Structure 1
Amino acid sequence: MTTYRIASIPGDGIGVDVVAQAREVLDRAGSLHGFDFAWTDFDWSCERFLKTGAMMPADGLDQLRDHDAVFLGAIGFPGVPDHVSLWGLLIPIRRAFRQYVNLRPVRLLPGVVSPLAGRSADELEIVIVRENSEGEYSQIGGRHNSGQPDEFAVQQAVFTRVGVSRVIRYAFELARTRGGQLCSATKSNGIIHSMPFWDEVFASIAAEYPDVRSEQSHVDALAARMVLRPDTLDVIVGSNLFGDILSDISAAIVGGLGTAPAANLNPERDFPSMFEPVHGSAPDIAGKGIANPVAQILTGAMMLDHLGETAAAEAVSAAVDAVLASGVRTPDLGGNATTTSVGNAISEALK
């Protein structure tokens, strides 16, 4: 029997609640499909930061390196600035392990009502491929003349040919396996250097994929199109910032962040990939038993697929669909079920 070594980081807030349920579903899926998990628990979180001054230990990356994947809940809590928690845990893992693809698929799940009136499930299925290692989220820059009337901040965006090419090529390959359609998010009419460079790289790679219908769209127009004409979109590729924003919009139009999974992928598999849902830690409902575990469970399905357990991944997704269609839903989806009852129902549906 294959055993997968998974680093489990529940993190903060509802991350603790939903990871527990997702792990039970994944263990159940493994028992039915002939594999199991060796979970290693890590308490890396904002709570740890407040106690020790660090989100994770100095050798944290070395502790993760030999695992097959990292399963993350959510990071963030009042009292710890978001940039501290993000740069203290998530970004170091993403960059050290070359997880340059942030993959965020969304679809309208059974029984879930989209805020877009009259849209059916077949019109609301989009995948965002977000560049995850450079772009607008760089460390280059600083603040000067702090506290003075002439104080200013400089933030440098970084776009390399290697970084842009590899994420765009990944998006083209993904589009080939789906509807053969890819849209690139740009803003070359206003950002004079980095975005024309992005566009040029996109156009050069598009020439290698004549079977994929490719187009470019300014990100503001694309955001509007996602709301007004989502049925015209399939795979979208964007820079770190644009992909981040567009993925939240895509999650919102299919019913909310509580249903949206995500993965930070090292496609070459030289390092472990990290799987985390789109939603945040929602500290206001943490521990109340009402957090929606669906996004974390579907994130687990993405992890199964990455590990090569495709049948198990499809079974988990089907179980989620069946449970939601039956009316078992948490309050954010208009139901009254608890975190645990939804998780248990999905585990049972795996039979």
Structure 2
Amino acid sequence: MYDLIIIGAGASGLISAIVATRQGQRVLLIEKMSQAGRKLRITGKGRCNLTNTLPLKDFLKHCGSEPRFLYPSFNKFFTKDVVTFFGDLGVKTVEERGGRIFPQSGKAQDVFLAMINELEDSDCRILKDTEVTKLIVEEGKIVGVQTKGYKPQIFKSPKVILAAGGESYPLTGSQGDGVRLAKEVGHNIIPTLPSLVGLKLKHYNGERIDPSIIGFGVRNVNATITLESGKKVCQEFGELTFRENGVEGPIIITLSRQIARLLSQGERLFLNIDFKTALSEQELDEKLLSELNIRGKEDLRSVLRAFLPHELIYLAIYQTALDPRKKASFVTSQERKEILAFLKHCQFEIIGDFGFEQAIVTQGGVDLKEINQKTLESKLIKG
């Protein structure tokens, strides 16, 4: 008999186990993969962005469609508490641009090792290569879990924490087990979708346009998602990166969270990029006309260098279908409008996302109406 069983030895499971053992509880931590904390060790590109110094009100704006649900939890354990928690484990932290908090070493591995070392010295049993197949419930109360095997084992406890993750980065072990287990004991499940993920674009192929555009990042752009009718859905300003079959980057993954459900419903959506946000359309048109007149003997590709890096010139030529060798003095008024449209309203139809394999988080899962906001305990199953 254990005081607490935790399913999943990722970041949430490890922290939960540490807090529980410090309170004197006998803990069983079960991980289905051969190693604990696999996703933790690659997070933040291997550097592990622990938290952010934004005020709680602003922080919650970045926390999905139901941010108020998290208020009681963050009110008890927020940025200073996170820094103190890891400091007590021996992990020194530093604050970087944008209020982001990282381990001073810059290594996610150090964060993982600090937690696993404490647990190995505590009253916590860690079972790896062990998959939980069933939550055992009797008379509306959790009494234990059953694991997979030739002879399934049953481990008993009056309390279970489900920290099995979502479905993003499935190779790290996040394959929707937690959602399945919750559903089997009666929880309503909101359909899961990839979120904070790159977007695939129709009629866009970086290799065909020019290989140099793959991995090329553009800063200070406006990205707007619109419906087929032209109605704006959402908009973000910042940086995006072109990939072989679509786009990703900070503003794209933020937009993906806001349109995931619409995409899954088959709604036609369009990505509109403004590459020259500092200039109005009229100002840009006047500058373009001036450049074409002054540099009349140069070809169009040369003139476009005044407005775009060479990687994007390939994209401009591809999108407008204009002849890059055409002399500037022969560019027609209609062709100038097409260039202007590319610079201020470059549009692609969105045909999907990069999937759970590249998604940072999972959208959907257990219906929050069935979870106690103050304790995160199931309202359906006691314990």
TM over 0.5: no
Structure with max Cα Rg: 2
Task: Tell me the TM-score range normalised by the shorter chain.
Answer: under 0.3
Larger helix proportion of the pair: 1
Larger strand proportion of the pair: 2
TM-score (structure 2 length as normaliser): 0.22
